[in-house]
Structure 1
Amino acid sequence: MTIQEVKIYHVEMELKTPFQTSLETVRERESLIIEAIDTDGVIGWGEVVAFSSPWYTEETVQTTYHILKDFLVPIVLKKTFAHPNDLQRFFQLLKRNHMAKAGIELAVWDLFAKRQNLALSNVLGGTRREIEAGVVISIDSIPKMLTNIEKHVEEGYKRFKVKISPHTDYSLLKEIRTHFPDLPLMVDANSAYTLKDVKKLQALDEFHLLMIEQPLRSDDFVEHRDLQKLIKTPICLDESIHSLHDAYSAILLNSCQIINVKAGRVGGLSESKRIHDLCGDYNIPIWCGGMLETGISRAHNIALASLPNFTIPGDISASSRYWKEDIIEPEVTVTNGVIHIPEKPGIGYEVNRKKLKKYSRYYETFT
């Protein structure tokens, strides 16, 4: 396949309700939608999941646009690829910038699957026809969070994640466990703690959590190793894992017992598959994280989560969880806590160009 044209759409969509973590509150979600077209007119779709400000990683919507426009798109245009894995070799001269790389790599994977007339999940090596869905509960007043949990319990979600901080951990979890003693529950700290908070983190062991996600600094493996020795709750690493090498380092150091895989964070589906395979070799459970994406990236996540070692329900919820309307058709739906994996070629969903145009602030074409 030879990429003849690339389009970048800068979209902005308002969340149905603000999404609050210990670091940031997101009300409007900016992202970049990538459309790659080959010489036969086949189209692939990808998405850059960086945020407007660098609170999650150092990348932002603006920095990824610069990297795409000035470096990655020129590399891809007019190049002939036998397989999407080839992109890693072409991109390796550019350090990091994983979200920018992932945006265009996802589009090439979608295009490649369509050229094979196969569902993306099949091309990746997925073994499931459906996946269990988890849901994230953002920081709010405790009564509102309990109400949100109750709503999603009724919808059948299989795993619940709540955002915590040192100021809203024990009291919140005590209330949740009082009302939902058997809830499959995990917490996400987004690096809000330090080793000085060991006693606070040890106190959370009584709630029998599935895991605590990213309690300490995102650039640290050693202190996470030390913390895991002191708490019973399994540590899951998220922001710390940007590559296969990061995952390998974390495993060898015993820094975690679980890893969250996000294609956008690690540079795309090829690296995600490599991390998946590594974790399978070491019996490290993994799950697919979410980034408040549009349906395009959500569709890629669904395909990725069909791989066999994704044994924990991921942050892949229904489109209506976040958006009044999504830009794909049909929208992603959850039925009794399960998402059925599309069987149509590529990501299995169609982009609604009318809605894409509606939410695009601008777009640019590269040939």
Structure 2
Amino acid sequence: MNIDTIVLRFVKIPLHRPFSNRWERFEEWTKLIVEVQSEGRSGYGECTAMETPYYNYETIETCWLVIQRYLAPILLDRTIDCPNQVADFFSHIRGHYEARAALECACWDLYGRIQGVPLYQLIGGEFRPVKSGATIGVHQSKEELIGELQQALEDGYHRFKIKIKRGWDVEPLETIRAAFPDIGLLADANGAYSPSDISYLASFDRFNLMCLEQPFPPRTLYETAKLQAQMTTPIALDEAVVSLEDVRQIIELKVARIVNLKIGRVGGISEALRIHDACKEAGIPIFIGAKYEMGIGRWTNIALATLDNVTYPSDVSASNRYFRQEIVNDAVELVAPGMVQPMEQPGFGSTICWENLNQYMTQEAVIRR
């Protein structure tokens, strides 16, 4: 297939409820949606970059610029026989993984639609329900925290990720464990702590966590390995996993026992599959992470969650946990308590709800040969 047109769109949609991480509070979420066209057919990818450079140096604006100025001209000049080639086309671009992933995912979707094959099947997954977890942000009170957690429990989610930071860690974890001693609980620090906190974090074993996610900033593998050696709680790495080479170092140094795999963070589906296979061979289980994806990215994540080494509940919960409306015609819904499953239609499975996308679109650019 030959890509003849690429369309970039910013889409801003109100959240179902405000969400806070360790850096900021959101009441709406903006995503960069990428469309690739070939002979009248379209495929779509959702850029996972955020508006701010706190989680990662990339933002939706830097991704827009890099795609428009550098990546799009490369893609518009190539013939694509298989989406695996796209990552190789961009191999001389340093960094900018989320920008690269958005285009690569759109090419996977387009290829699946042309071939009439669903994404989960293209990447070696299977049509099956997968366990979903709920993510709960930083709250202003313990009462708000317990209220949101109770609702997620009633929806049947299989794991509950709590965002933590200095000043919001021990107290909320103690509160949750007092109210719900047996639920699957994950504490996600997003790199909020420093290596000087090793003894402090090791004491979190008392909370019986499924795992402690990304306690230190990304480039602290040796320090994270020291913490893991002192904890019975498994450490999961997120921001530290950008490539297959990172995973090889994690395995060799015994840094962590679980990997949070995000398609955007590692540059696309092809690299995600390589990381999945390396973790499987090393006996390291995976869950699929997310960054408040809308429907395109959410269905893509669900397809990846059907791979056989994704054994922990993933961040693939129902759309209505997060957004008031969707930009696809098939919102992600629970097929059983806490369970979702991929679409059987070609590509990521659903189609664009143009009424909603146009309503919430704030900017558009069309790039042609």
What TM-score comes out, normalization by structure 2 length? Answer: 0.97
Name the residue aligned to 1:12: 12
Identity %: 37
Counterpart-to-counterpart distance in 1, 2:222 and 2:341 = 39
Secondary structure in structure 2 of the residue aligned to 1:350: coil
Letter in 1 for 2:134: V
Counterpart-to-counterpart distance in 1, 2:345 and 2:127 = 15
Name the residue aligned to 1:336: 337
Name the residue aligned to 2:61: 62
Aligned 8 A contact 1:128 1:308 in 2 = no
1:158-181 deviations in Å (ceiling 9; x for gaps): 111001112121221111011111
Aligned 8 A contact 2:194 2:216 in 1 = yes
Counterpart-to-counterpart distance in 2, 1:219 and 1:25 = 26
Name the residue aligned to 1:366: 367
Q: Which stretch of the first structure deviates more once superposed, 25-34 or 186-195?
A: 25-34
1:1-56 deviations in Å (ceiling 9; x for gaps): 111111111111222222111223233211110111112x2210101111111010
Counterpart-to-counterpart distance in 2, 1:242 and 1:104 = 17
Name the residue aligned to 1:82: 81
What TM-score comes out, normalization by structure 1 length? Answer: 0.98
Shift of 1:128: 4.1
Unpaired runs of 5+ residues, structure 2, are none
RMSD of aligned C-alpha atoms? Answer: 1.0
1:162-201 deviations in Å (ceiling 9; x for gaps): 0111212122111101111110111100111112222321
Counterpart-to-counterpart distance in 2, 1:237 and 1:362 = 34
Counterpart-to-counterpart distance in 1, 2:109 and 2:38 = 12
Secondary structure in structure 2 of the residue aligned to 1:10: strand
How is 1:125-140 mapped onto 2 (pairs within 5 angstroms)?
Answer: 125-140=124-139
Secondary structure in structure 1 of the residue aligned to 2:4: strand
Letter in 1 for 2:253: L
Name the residue aligned to 1:118: 117
Counterpart-to-counterpart distance in 2, 1:337 and 1:17 = 19
How is 1:18-97 mapped onto 2 (pairs within 5 angstroms)?
Answer: 18-39=18-39, 41-97=40-96
Counterpart-to-counterpart distance in 1, 2:298 and 2:187 = 21
How is 1:1-367 mapped onto 2 (pairs within 5 angstroms)?
Answer: 1-39=1-39, 41-140=40-139, 141-334=141-334, 335-367=336-368
1:119-162 deviations in Å (ceiling 9; x for gaps): 10000000241111101010101111111111111101011100
Counterpart-to-counterpart distance in 2, 1:8 and 1:98 = 17
Letter in 1 for 2:342: I
1:248-275 deviations in Å (ceiling 9; x for gaps): 1111111111000000111010000000
Counterpart-to-counterpart distance in 1, 2:155 and 2:220 = 37
Aligned 8 A contact 1:24 1:55 in 2 = no
Counterpart-to-counterpart distance in 2, 1:23 and 1:291 = 14
Counterpart-to-counterpart distance in 2, 1:36 and 1:105 = 10
Shift of 1:231: 1.6
Secondary structure in structure 2 of the residue aligned to 1:300: helix
Counterpart-to-counterpart distance in 1, 2:88 and 2:242 = 17
Aligned residues: 366
Unpaired runs of 5+ residues, structure 1, are none
